[in-house]
Structure formats: C-alpha cells, structure tokens
C-alpha cells in the first residue's frame, strides 16, 4: 500500500512569493490534514479537509489556504510568504469518521525555506 505522498520534497522561496504544496492521500482515505512543523514551535494543526470541504482550521492567518480535489488529493497554498513560514509541512490522511476509528497516517513532508 502506497503511503501519503507529498511534493515537492524541498523548495526555496523568497519573502512575498506564493507557494503551493501538494499531497496525495492513501487510497481509500478521504480526509486530509495539514500540519506545520516549525523550529521552536513544534507541530501545529493547519487545516482539515474531508469530502472536498474544509472541516476545521488551526490558528493561522488567511494567507494559508487549501483545497481538496474530487480524487481526495489536496493542495496547501501560502501567499505573501514570510520568513517565519520556513518549516516542514506535513500532510496526513485518514478514513472518514472520528479519529478514534482512523488514526492519521503522515507523509514525509515538504521542507519550505523562505529567504
């Protein structure tokens, strides 16, 4: 079974630019989650998508946005990049329903560096 795949693995952007990160969930998983792992801040919940709809959002500004496609893959968009957006962005997926029925499976992440 293929795991959660994320692309690209690394990228470097300049402050003020925009970036799009991509995630393909495990086959059969309809929920996709995005987390940010920034140095010194730990892992923080960003977004949760299920069946194409945004279900929950963490405490991040509106320039962080995303969407989920009919095939359940997802994109995370970050506009007007700031230096503190430099982080590892992790995508996770699960079957639908409550987390106690379907724990999250994580991808290896996209390392974003903003200069």
Interface positions with another protein (CB under 8 A)? 4, 31, 33, 35, 42-45, 48, 50, 55-56, 58, 90, 92, 94, 98-100, 103-109
Least Å distance, CB 52 to another protein, is 15
Question: Cα-atom radius of gyration of the chain, to the nearest Å?
Answer: 13
Least Å distance, CB 16 to another protein, is 28
Least Å distance, CB 99 to another protein, is 5
Least Å distance, CB 67 to another protein, is 17
* C-beta of 24 vs 31, nearer to another protein: 31
* C-beta of 48 vs 64, nearer to another protein: 48
* C-beta of 58 vs 67, nearer to another protein: 58
Which among 68, 69, 67, 86 is positioned nearest to 77, based on CA atoms? 67
């Amino acid at each position: 079974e293929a795991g959660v795949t994320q692309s690209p693995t690394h990228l470097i952007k300049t402050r003020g630019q925009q970036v799009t990160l991509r995630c393909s969930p495990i086959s059969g998983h309809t929920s996709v989650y995005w987390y940010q792992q920034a140095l010194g801040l730990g892992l923080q919940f960003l977004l949760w998508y299920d069946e194409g709809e945004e279900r929950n959002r963490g405490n991040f500004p509106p320039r962080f946005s995303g969407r989920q496609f009919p095939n359940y893959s997802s994109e995370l968009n970050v506009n007007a990049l700031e230096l503190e957006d430099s982080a590892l962005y992790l995508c996770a997926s699960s079957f639908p329903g409550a987390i106690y029925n379907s724990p999250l499976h994580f991808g290896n992440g996209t390392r974003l560096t903003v200069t």
